[in-house]
Amino acid sequence: MNIRAASQEYYIRQYKQNLPDQSFLSETNLQTSIRDVFEKTSDRYCADNGFSEYDKKAKDGSLVKITVISVNDMHGKLEEMPKLAGVIEALRRNHPDAIVVEGGDSSYNPPYSDQNNNAYKPLPDILNEMDFDYMNLGNHEFQFGKDAAVKDFINKIDKQNTEILGANVHDKSKEDSLPGVKPYSVRNINGIRVAFVGVTEKKMSTGSHPDVGKGLFVEEPEEALRRLMPKIKKEADVVIALSHQGVGDDIRLVKQIKGLDLVLASHDHTPDNVQKGNFPNQTYIVEPHAYCKEVALSEIYVDPVTREVVNMNFHRIPVKKFQCSPDAEVAQIIKDYHDNGEVIPRQAA
């Protein structure tokens, strides 16, 4: 059934029937997080074949559904992070098999980012509490150069829970990985092997920020993926790229690199970026809004026999409208840093 032809009431009824846990969802949440989102974006954010057909097939085992929850470009907006973490936790409860990823530029929010007082505080503690499965490295993770990023950011992320990805950022050459960083990672999700690979833009420094990326060897994203994709495709059925370079560059990327199923884009700081392709030969590119304003929920439907993607749905969820409690642990981390005088209160953005 085409979601655009379905009534909103029918869609919400179908959505309720497919939730494993509805305890946290009020009717208001259903209105704001489903009806409102799809009313505005159904043409651009849902694949044309509709919700119920593919979810029913996933329920009866004839398809496998892979769910990815993603955010990007948080830029140290501390005041917004407790609510963002609360939304992610609520979505996790309803999608217990979901993979949660962060697309890069979680850090650097002037005026309080201070190289002389650990520019990343308190982000590693917050990110560890949010418990991402994968994090990509953006250009602003390297705002003060490679050494600061490794010492004060990468080394402080709990690698037992979170894998940091960066296929084209290296120590001294493309043969040297950064400590604590992997080019890609593969995990089995309900019998489907799913690879997550991270890339970021090659040009990082600017005239006003000459130290961004200092000490790094940064490979062209296309070059890195061209080198890695033959190996990745042997290990994985579905390939998802976390790409921190902007949708325009991602469009060029997928024209050159075959085998990517989904690109979770970032760096543009712009919502409404979705490029749609025909399966199995083209790629979807999705980017939610930056600054903790939105969470993206991507649903990928895979044929377990052919191991090909047959459909995708995309949900952009506005954080402020979603009714849930802020994450108390994240809020406490921020309060403790403020109380200790380690964080300068942020001016209004």
Domain ranges of the chain: 63-339
**What pLDDT shows up at residue 13?**
44
Task: Read off the pLDDT of each residue in 213-219 and give the average, rounded to a whole number.
Answer: 85
CA 141 to chain centre: 15
Q: Which residue has the higher pLDDT, 193 or 272?
A: 193
Largest CA distance in the chain: 57
pLDDT of 217 > 90? The answer is no
What pTM did the predictor assign?
A: 0.82
Residues 128 and 161: their CA atoms lie apart, in Å, by: 8
Q: Which of 22-36, 106-120, 217-231 has the lowest mean pLDDT?
A: 22-36
User: What confidence tens digit (pLDDT) does each residue in 52-105 have?
Assistant: 688 889 999 999 999 999 999 998 889 999 999 999 999 999 899 999 999 988
User: What confidence tens digit (pLDDT) does each residue in 185-205 have?
Assistant: 999 999 999 999 999 998 877
Please give the helix or strand (H or E) that residue 265 lies within, else none.
strand 262-266
Local confidence band at 208 (pLDDT 50, 70, 90 cut-offs): low
pLDDT of 24 > 70? The answer is no
Dihedrals phi, psi of 93, to nearest 5 degrees: -65, -30
**What pLDDT shows up at residue 274?**
61
Is 88 in contact with 303 (CB distance < 8 Å)?
A: no
- The torsion angle over the Cα atoms of residues 319, 320, 321 and 326, rounded to 10 degrees, is 80
Local confidence band at 156 (pLDDT 50, 70, 90 cut-offs): very high
**What pLDDT shows up at residue 329?**
96
Sequence-separated contacts (24+) of 48-54 with Cβ below 8 Å? 48/2, 48/4, 49/2, 49/311, 50/1, 50/2, 50/3, 50/6, 51/1, 51/3, 51/6, 51/11, 51/14, 51/15, 51/313, 52/1, 52/6, 52/14, 53/1, 54/301, 54/310, 54/311, 54/313
User: What confidence tens digit (pLDDT) does each residue in 116-142 have?
Assistant: 456 788 899 999 999 999 999 998 888
pLDDT of 31 > 50? The answer is no
Which of 273, 266, 278, 287 has the alpha carbon at shortest distance from 312? 278
CATH number for 63-339 (one of 3.40.190.10, 3.30.565.10, 3.40.430.10, 3.60.21.10): it is 3.60.21.10
Task: Read off the pLDDT of each residue in 260-278 and give the average, rounded to a whole number.
Answer: 75
Ranked by mean pLDDT, the top range of 195-209, 246-260, 295-309 is 295-309
Q: Which residue has the higher pLDDT, 60 or 30?
A: 60
**What pLDDT shows up at residue 315?**
85
**What pLDDT shows up at residue 120?**
83
CA distances from 286 to 71, 93, 238, 267, 336 (A): 11, 23, 16, 12, 35
**What pLDDT shows up at residue 129?**
96
Local confidence band at 272 (pLDDT 50, 70, 90 cut-offs): low
Task: Read off the pLDDT of each residue in 132-154 and give the average, rounded to a whole number.
Answer: 90
Residue 165: both structure tokens together: 């990805």
Residues 82 and 338: their CA atoms lie apart, in Å, by: 14
Q: Which residue has the higher pLDDT, 171 or 114?
A: 171
Residues 246 and 273: their CA atoms lie apart, in Å, by: 10
Task: Read off the pLDDT of each residue in 237-254 and give the average, rounded to a whole number.
Answer: 91
**What pLDDT shows up at residue 188?**
96
**What pLDDT shows up at residue 107?**
84
pLDDT of 172 > 80? The answer is no
pLDDT of 150 > 80? The answer is yes
**What pLDDT shows up at residue 349?**
38
